[in-house]
Amino acid sequence: MLAALTGLIGFPVWPQAMTFDDAWARVKAGSDQLAAAQAAVDSKSLQSTALQGLGGPVVSLSGAAYAYHASLDLSLDPINQKLSQISQQLPLPLLNTLSQLNLPQLPASYTLDRQTTGSTQSVAAMWPIYMGRVSDTVRAFSAAQGSEAQADADKSGHELATLLVQRYFGAQLAVKAATLRQTAFKDMAQHDAATAKMLAAGVISRVERLQAQAALEESRRNAQRAQDDAELAGVALARTVKADAPVQPQTPLFVMSAPTEPLAYFLSQALQHHPGLAKVSAKIEQAEQLHLGQEALRKPQVFAFGQRELKTGSANWVAGVGVRWTLFDSVNRDALAAASNKQIEQAEHTQAQARDDISLLVEKNWRSVEQTRQQFLATATGIELAQEVLRLRTAALRQGTGTALELMDAEVNQAKVHTERAQLAYEYVMALARLLESCGLSDEFGRYVRQADLKVY
């Protein structure tokens, strides 16, 4: 509501002054990308914690309440027939006696009907004594998954740091270019007014006047385009740091006049800290643990067990030790073992290839840093030359030996060389950020900012 009222009243929205370190702190605190990566790490960590007790005893309590109704029709004809056969085989006196007694005959069928309710409770325990180190392999596999998630999170952090460098110093470059273009446009406007007076006095020709007007219009377009680029770069930076107002970068573009550490240093750091290598190492560990787990399933398994009814009086119970050993399985265990060994081999080859690729990338980025540094230092002569030419053209115009168009060209050239110098500083900063990212040292960027001795304001 406050923001809405501010917009309605027309109060200006002041930009937030922010150093690069402040911007990086805001990104780390509020980035959804980093939060998602950290959530994945926390998930794997909790999973590993949950599996710490794997292979220990398991105690379970069970209970059931039941009710049943049973109805069964029993046919008694076979029994009647059997009794009749037996009676025919009795001695005649006994048969006559039984016939006089008139014993009743069994019915042809009988229906059995029963129903009742009840309940049962019991406690059971099972303790794996020896499982062929299956539990250890599962825990190690889960820990390797956590290492992989951490490597992915580190990779996301390095990429985000490089993105912030691009947008933060890109905004600085865009503001610098817009300022130079706007200054050039103001100078052009003054010279255009001067040529109008000179044309009226008959000092210059109509062609020179038109040339001055064309140069002014081109300068106007360039200034407007640079201003639009600066505004867009500011919006991108504000969204990156999740700011609710425009951001005014306080850390200028920079270059170190001295070279960075030698290539060997960065290669060594890359082999130790690059998240890609950490991820491949985690993949190798996972493949090795899968292989060990498959081999563990071939070994015998020993476990203790017990169960007892929960009731007073004489309760039923059972306890003992069991052994299970799979002697034959329809699954080809040898082929599975060979397949898991191939996964280990694949991961090892991937690791070797990753080392080569990362080493090449580090060397490329290191050379790019050194090349842009030297190019930036070489612009000092061009800056000095442009300033001297501008001074001479200004003096020549005052003395009547030069033209306004020549002065305009000198001013345009000065803005151009200053813009190119700022562009080289930006390229140096980006090359340095990419170098640190390829070494897993993105958090060290702030140290290089503080060491820089050449600033482009």
**Which tops the pLDDT comparison, 348 or 192?**
348
Tell me: pLDDT of 231 over 80: yes
In which band, very low, low, confident or very high, does the pLDDT at 8 lie, cut at 50, 70 and 90?
A: very low
The full set of domain ranges for the chain reads 132-301+344-456
**Which tops the pLDDT comparison, 3 or 394?**
394
**Which tops the pLDDT comparison, 68 or 32?**
32
Residue 86, pLDDT score: 66
Q: What percent of the chain has pLDDT over 90?
A: 52
In which band, very low, low, confident or very high, does the pLDDT at 101 lie, cut at 50, 70 and 90?
A: low
> What number is the average pLDDT over the span 243-269?
94
In which band, very low, low, confident or very high, does the pLDDT at 103 lie, cut at 50, 70 and 90?
A: low
Residue 106, pLDDT score: 64
> What number is the average pLDDT over the span 402-406?
75
> What number is the average pLDDT over the span 194-208?
83
Of 109-113, 140-144, 239-243, 332-336, minimum mean pLDDT range: 109-113
Dihedral angle at the C-alpha atoms of 241, 247, 251, 255, nearest 10 degrees? 80
> What number is the average pLDDT over the span 131-143?
90
Residue 99, pLDDT score: 60
Residue 7, pLDDT score: 41
In which band, very low, low, confident or very high, does the pLDDT at 3 lie, cut at 50, 70 and 90?
A: very low
Of 55-69, 252-266, 341-355, 423-437, minimum mean pLDDT range: 55-69
In which band, very low, low, confident or very high, does the pLDDT at 10 lie, cut at 50, 70 and 90?
A: very low
132-301+344-456: in CATH 1.20.1240.10: no
First and final C-alpha spacing in the chain? 37
